[in-house]
Amino acid sequence: MVFDGIILGLIVGMIRGGLKQGLHAFGQLKLKGGWIFPVLLLIQLVIFAVQDQSSFVASISNYMFMGIYIVGMIFLWLNRDQHGFGLILTGVFLNFLVMAVNGGRMPVSLQAASVLDPYYVDMLSQGTVITKHYLLDESTRLPFLGDIIPLSPPYPRSQAISIGDIVMNVGIFVYIVQLMSGDKKKAEKNKPLETGSSA
């Protein structure tokens, strides 16, 4: 789901700002603590790779994911003056919140998951495999923040997503579109007054 906002943002950004301008904007991209993001991604990949072999890693993986979320949110907070980052932060926080109150895992509703591959639904309902998700039930807290929204055709991808995912993606979309087409507007705003100088 993370990629949907990026792809959509790139398309709209390209239309509004143009390819050259957009790529130029990416070249000038400056974020505070920009190194944090790739490091977090790397850690996540390592956990995925290792958790099958190491039971220790598997047992603490939930907490590690929570930690990654917190560091990620700090990174977003540092850059909150960027367009769309407030929304991204809100989305991530909503996801974090529902996971935090449900033992570090994201609840998925059976109904929403029914749009997915039945194999995956089986996996979820048996709860055998350790993943970031688990099936939503009576005991789930804040169920309305879980993965309860089914995406199905004509949407190109079948998925169950949370409201946090949507808010986050809107934020990503806004950020990318702004990045690719925003400079032009800013330049217009700063254009000096036509009327004479009063130096």
Partner 1 sequence: MSFLKRERTLKISASQWYFIIISLFGIIVFGFVNKAEFLNYTLQEWTWLYALTGATLILDHFAFQLPPKGNGQSMDSSVYLACMFIYGPAFALSVCLLTLIISSVYYKKPFWKDLANFNIYVLMISGASIVFTATGGTIGTLENEKILSYLAALTTYFFINVLVIGFFYVILMRSTLYEALKSFFKDIILVYLSTLILSLALTILISSNGVFGLTLFIALSTMLSYSFKQLFTMYNDIQEKATRDQRTGLFNHSYFESLLDEEIVKASQNDTPLSLVMIDIDDFKKYNDQFGHLKGDMLLGFLGHFLHEECEPAEVVASRFGGEEFTILMPGYDEGAASEFVNRLRKKLNDTYYEGVEIFPSGCLSFSAGIASHRVDIHDKAQLVDFADQAMYYAKKQGKNNVHIYGSSSAKEHEIDFAEDVRDIEQQLKLFLYKDVDTFKHSKRVFRYAMDMSTVLKLDSVDRRHFILGALIHDIGKLEIPWGILNKKGKLTAEEWETVKNHVVWGKRIAETNEKLKELVPFIELHHERYDGGGYPHGYSGKQIPRLCRMLTIIDSFDAMTTERPYQKTKTYEEGIAELRRCSGTQFDPELTELFIGYMEQRMLEQQQPAAGMESS
Sign of CA dihedral 14, 20, 21, 24: positive
Q: How far apart are CA 158 and CA 152, in angstroms?
A: 5
Could you say which DSSP state residue 38 is in? H
Q: How far apart are CA 185 and CA 178, in angstroms?
A: 10
Instruction: Please identify, using beta-carbon distances, which residue of 17 and 164 lies nearer to partner 1.
Output: 164
Instruction: Please identify, using beta-carbon distances, which residue of 52 and 137 lies nearer to partner 1.
Output: 137
Q: How far apart are CA 25 and CA 3, in angstroms?
A: 19
Instruction: Please identify, using beta-carbon distances, which residue of 65 and 84 lies nearer to partner 1.
Output: 84
Which value, in Å, is the radius of gyration of the alpha carbons in the chain? Answer: 20
Q: Does 138 bind partner 1 (CB under 8 A)?
A: no
Q: Does 163 bind partner 1 (CB under 8 A)?
A: yes
Q: What are the percentages of helix, strand and coil residues in the chain, rounded to 5?
A: 60, 5, 30
Site string for partner 1, 63-102 (x = CB under 8 A): -----------------------xx---------------
CB of residue 102 to partner 1, shortest distance in Å:
14
Instruction: Please identify, using beta-carbon distances, which residue of 129 and 193 lies nearer to partner 1.
Output: 193
Binding site for partner 1 (CB under 8 A): 86-87, 109, 111-112, 136, 143-144, 146, 148-150, 154, 163, 166, 193-199
